[in-house]
Amino acid sequence: MKDFLSGLLDWIYKKKCYFCKSSKDSSKMCSKCFEELDYLPLKINRITEGKKVYCAGIYSKNLQKLIRGLKYHNQKDLAYFLALFMYHYWSQITDDKDFQIIPVPIYHKRKKKRKYNHMELTAIEFCKLGGYTYNPELIERVKDTKPQYKLSKPQRAENLSNAFKINKEKLLPEKILIIDDICTTGATFEEMIREFKKNGIENIVCLAATTPFGD
């Protein structure tokens, strides 16, 4: 009944595109604005702790607004479009479905304040699109870190030191794909990979939606 009423309201009050305000598609992101998102070349962006890191696009224009809307402005419907953008890129890298998807976790107090983790929402949609296993409980953030964008590269590394803890009993047999929104210095991926490796977990790949630095 709730879904029916929601659908009825969407039909009566068409959703406007968060980007261009058009109601033509009755969607939070119309097809025209989605198609304007720019992808990076299909190649490894960097190697971090011996593991491959891919970045799907550049942090600018609509992709920047998409991430900020989802992350800071309660635009939860945008999680599907961020996942779709990432999936379109990733599915051209590999058609292997043998992955457990691990969203970068946020500290429990921050999640309680924000009421959601935007990368968990994105990971759920990513798994639906690709038929992957969703596994958010394998690793948790146990340190209330400062926002990374304010810090230098050495400060980022120090900020994230011992920030994560593995719940090894939650490990599944599939390979691990860690997903995040922005990869700047790669410090978050690096610290998570280190924690996995300390626990003897090596089969890891990372995917970020975007990077500020292009290719």
Residue 211's DSSP bridge partners are: 58
N residues, the chain: 215
Full-model pTM: 0.90
Mean pLDDT to the nearest integer, 134-163: 85
Give the residue, 152 or 30, on which the prediction is more confident.
30
Residue with tokens 């702790």: 49
Residue with tokens 């379109």: 88
Distance CA(96)–CA(38), nearest Å, equals 24
> Tens digit of pLDDT for each residue in 171-213?
999 999 999 999 998 999 999 999 999 999 999 999 999 999 7
Distance CA(205)–CA(53), nearest Å, equals 6
Q: Give residue limits of the domains in the chain.
A: 38-211
Question: Under DSSP, is residue 178 helix (H, G, I), strand (E, B) or coil?
Answer: strand
Half-sphere exposure at residue 124, Cβ-oriented, CA atoms within 13 angstroms: 11
Question: Under DSSP, is residue 76 helix (H, G, I), strand (E, B) or coil?
Answer: coil
Q: What fold is seen in the domain 38-211?
A: Rossmann fold (3.40.50)
